[in-house]
Structure 1
Amino acid sequence: MSTDRVVIVGAGHAGFAAAAALRECSYEGAITLLDSTAALPYQRPPLSKGFIDETLAEDAIAFRDREYFAREGIELRIGVSAVAVDRDNRAVLLSDGARVDYTHLILATGTRPRPLPVPAGAGAFTVLRTPDDARGIAANLAAGGRLLVLGGGFIGAEVAATAARRGLDVTVVEAGPQLMGRAVSAYTAQHLAASLERLGVRVLLTTRVAEVRPGAPATVVTDDCRSLPADHVLAAIGVVPETELAERACLPVDDGIVVDEHLLTSDPAISAIGDCARVVRPDGTSRRIESVQNATDQARCAAARVTGRPYRYDRVPRFWSDQGPERLQIVGHADRPTADALRGTPSGRSFSVVRSDSAGRVVAVESVNDGRTHMMFRRLFESRAPIAATDLADPDRPLTELLTLSAMGERNPL
């Protein structure tokens, strides 16, 4: 057995996938997987849906049971935090006073809920990040009453849909002009908002929160002086990357831990992957992606490099969200203003939105309730063939025909 050791900080999707991928790549050294949560490494997406709805048991969200880690020779240390990195001596210092040496360190620290920027009394609201958070929300759903969700992103919309189907009186308060404003087109946002409203959810757009007052009931005060009473308040206004450990280690940070296309930080013995990592590309642009697929693919890329088979990370990002009866799937990433074209109609059960940048290049496609179409769009994206946005949006151009053309065309990033 090699004397090398990879230490992974964070056992979410990226951290667990990195440990598993190292063994799949025949890494023979020691692996230590650290996480501050005292639970077996688990999947986060179900927390806002089946887990809080109590239709999914806790053991069903674990990536693997304890026997897996023992069998694969992965040392799992949970309920303990990494507090510092001694880069000179290649060691991680832990909250319990222990010290773990490493040959290579992988930071998979993820994100934490964005704090409310307004006054909020103790116990006035909850957040959703861990199984403990989800158990508390599940208890609130079982108790019934009024739920007020602050934030209309993916988590807020998913919890709102789940709670409404359980019979709660639900209100979503969103500061922006549409739900999921940073993530989806206006067409998709309007469709999903209408779906929530059909479930009985009250959606308040362009409404800012000024204060959250604890009590029974709690009260949310808006910037236009309305008082909204609620038995339960969930703050879901987004997340921020966990970069403190990297900052204390004097690694570059810019809304994420800065890494190159091989996912290496400025220290060649330290990688960062997943939601916490901001990848800088050769043209100077950078991107931090929050998605399960991105976390898993970056983990495999880092593991391949550690085991001597490096490649540049350039995977096309993918996202998904289940909101009551609605299934949203996205391929690509629209992080700048786009021109959006419809394939299908939002008034129907299923449709897609083709999003292109100012140069006419397709940067993302959203599919609602149409997995088959989404899979074809994914294949087109992954072919990286030059296809006009007008062709993708034209319902008279079968996607199978475009797939055939892309197979014959020159590779060129969309």
Structure 2
Amino acid sequence: MSAPNHVVVVGASAAGLTAAEALRREGFTGGLTLIGDETHPPYDRPPLSKQVLTGARQPSEVALRDEDAIARLQADLRLGCRATGLDTAARVIALADGDRVRYDGMIIATGLRPRRLPFGHELAGVHVLRTLDDALAVRAELATGPRVVVLGAGFLGSETAASARELGLDVTLVDAEPAPMIRQFGPEVAGLLAAAHRDHGVRMRMGRKVSGIEGGNGRVAAVVLDDGTRLAADLVVVAIGSVPAVDWLAGSGVPIGDGVLCDEYCRAGPGVYAAGDVANWPHPGLGARVRLEQRTNAGEQAMAAARNLLAEPGQETPYAPTPFGWTDHYGDKIQLHGWCPPGARTEIVAGHPRERKFVALYRRGDRVVGALGWNSVRALRAYRGHVTAPGHADASGR
């Protein structure tokens, strides 16, 4: 396509803002519109389940840029405005307020929406945690000293449980898997994380599913598990995963499935690109499609999508990152470069788990496919360059 005159970025979180900044940095001087369905200026999500919940950081402290930096983008910033439809033939985006925005180029960065249970969400005290408003609502309830039950022990649920426990609250963590974050880190490291939760007083109900949520007078009273166990609860945080926010693209011609289905250049159609949690693309090193729900990927992919949108035909660059993610629990920092695919072998190469300071490599055959550091930021650097993609179709990367 010829150079665009007007680019619209749909989604105003980390990926969307970074895409807008990258367009300007790459020399794009045309019209730029940034659309976000939240009323808050772009902010960072990782602190929501940690510092924001505990009160260590205030909403203003998670803003990604100050007002001057936003103004320098010379963008039409549409906040509190949700995209509801897309006509790729006319190159028009429909908004919830009835407006229609035309584009020559577009970057989709709409991220995720949280999964919900088929029951219980009508009760006061039952929350999801995705947005800043969600985090502030949960924080307000944490201040009342409730009995907390967290459903789901992935990144979000495990961090939320740790934050609530750091506030001195009664916390129970529930998941159908045998240990917290086992899909992300494998059984050995997940076992160490489970031990950390137990050491800090979190009660865990692993290998259990939720069969119901009970209430009284319109407020949550208990969570019922599939073995009949009844967990008294004043506050329930549902953290059972998320799904890509692509409903607004139905019937648009943009290919969707588990996210926006792009090619290796992050392109989903003529003039249409995607970045961040919502983007699903064939990773050249994996030989399979991948969708990464990681903060670092949001920024890196947004820059790649912006560059490819502006590139001359044939000058696009495939996007082939090595994933990087992290989590914080009880003052411990766990970082992962690469992947921990099912069946990977874990090898401790520095430090020792009993000291809560070590580096572990994930191996598949003779390949290092991931490197994890637990309180080992500096030591981990020596190993990240050894990481290569697993190179087969069951690697998740998420």
Q: Is TM > 0.5 for Structure 1 vs Structure 2?
A: yes
Label 1:52 to 1:124 Cα distance change in 2 as closer, same or farther (>3 A). Answer: closer
Partner of 1:87: 88
Partner of 2:280: 278
Matched, 1:108 2:109: yes
Matched, 1:318 2:319: no
Label 1:217 to 1:257 Cα distance change in 2 as closer, same or farther (>3 A). Answer: closer
Unmatched 5+ residue regions in structure 2?
A: 391-398
**Aligned with 1:322: secondary structure?**
strand
Choose the corresponding residue for 1:333, options 339, 342, 359: 339
Matched, 1:17 2:24: no
**Aligned with 1:224: secondary structure?**
coil
How much does 1:6 deviate?
0.8
1:282-361 matches, cutoff 5 A? 285-308=288-311, 310-343=316-349, 344-357=351-364, 359-361=365-367
**Aligned with 1:31: secondary structure?**
strand
**Aligned with 2:385: secondary structure?**
helix
Which whole-Å CA distance do the structure 1 matches of 2:251 and 2:42 have between them? 25
- More displaced stretch, 122-131 vs 49-58: 122-131
How much does 1:303 deviate?
1.4
Which whole-Å CA distance do the structure 1 matches of 2:304 and 2:261 have between them? 16
How much does 1:385 deviate?
11
1:138-195 per-residue CA deviation (whole Å, 9 max, x = no partner) reads 1112111211100111111111111111110011011111111221121211111111
Which whole-Å CA distance do the structure 2 matches of 1:284 and 1:189 have between them? 27
Alpha carbons 1:121, 1:212 under 8 Å: kept: no
Label 1:3 to 1:334 Cα distance change in 2 as closer, same or farther (>3 A). Answer: closer
- More displaced stretch, 159-168 vs 211-220: 211-220
**Aligned with 1:157: secondary structure?**
helix
Q: TM-score, normalised by structure 2?
A: 0.91
1:256-271 matches, cutoff 5 A? 256-265=259-268, 267-271=269-273
1:57-85 per-residue CA deviation (whole Å, 9 max, x = no partner) reads 21111111233222220211010111111
Alpha carbons 1:301, 1:310 under 8 Å: kept: no
**Aligned with 1:38: secondary structure?**
coil
Matched residue type, 1:195:
A
Alpha carbons 1:109, 1:242 under 8 Å: kept: yes
Which whole-Å CA distance do the structure 2 matches of 1:385 and 1:240 have between them? 24
Partner of 1:180: 181
Label 1:189 to 1:15 Cα distance change in 2 as closer, same or farther (>3 A). Answer: same
Partner of 2:370: 364
Which whole-Å CA distance do the structure 1 matches of 2:215 and 2:148 have between them? 14
Which whole-Å CA distance do the structure 1 matches of 2:184 and 2:156 have between them? 12
Label 1:156 to 1:77 Cα distance change in 2 as closer, same or farther (>3 A). Answer: same
Matched residue type, 1:303:
A
Which whole-Å CA distance do the structure 2 matches of 1:272 and 1:360 have between them? 34
Q: Note the aligned Cα RMSD (angstroms).
A: 1.9
Which whole-Å CA distance do the structure 2 matches of 1:83 and 1:351 have between them? 47
Unmatched 5+ residue regions in structure 1?
A: 387-414
How much does 1:119 deviate?
5.7
Which whole-Å CA distance do the structure 2 matches of 1:179 and 1:84 have between them? 38
Partner of 1:125: 126
Partner of 2:394: none
Which whole-Å CA distance do the structure 1 matches of 2:308 and 2:220 have between them? 54
- More displaced stretch, 133-142 vs 213-222: 213-222
Matched residue type, 1:255:
D
Matched residue type, 1:205:
M
Partner of 1:222: 225
- More displaced stretch, 250-259 vs 314-323: 250-259
Which whole-Å CA distance do the structure 2 matches of 1:324 and 1:26 have between them? 44
**Aligned with 1:60: secondary structure?**
helix
Partner of 2:61: 60
Alpha carbons 1:12, 1:42 under 8 Å: kept: yes
Matched residue type, 2:213:
V
Which whole-Å CA distance do the structure 2 matches of 1:220 and 1:161 have between them? 19
Report the count of equivalent residues.
Answer: 381
Greater share of residues in strand:
2
- More displaced stretch, 148-157 vs 278-287: 278-287
Matched, 1:235 2:238: yes
1:265-297 per-residue CA deviation (whole Å, 9 max, x = no partner) reads 1x1211111111111246851111110111111
How much does 1:245 deviate?
2.4
How much does 1:263 deviate?
0.2
Alpha carbons 2:214, 2:220 under 8 Å: kept: no
Which whole-Å CA distance do the structure 2 matches of 1:325 and 1:254 have between them? 38
Alpha carbons 2:38, 2:80 under 8 Å: kept: yes
**Aligned with 1:329: secondary structure?**
strand
How much does 1:199 deviate?
1.4
Q: What is the identity percentage for the equivalent residue pairs of Structure 1 and Structure 2?
A: 37
How much does 1:380 deviate?
3.3
Partner of 1:51: 52
1:107-165 per-residue CA deviation (whole Å, 9 max, x = no partner) reads 11111111225565433510111111111111112111211100111111111111111
How much does 1:3 deviate?
7.2
Matched residue type, 1:291:
Q
Partner of 1:78: 79
Matched residue type, 2:200:
L
1:25-36 matches, cutoff 5 A? 25-36=26-37
Which whole-Å CA distance do the structure 2 matches of 1:285 and 1:89 have between them? 32
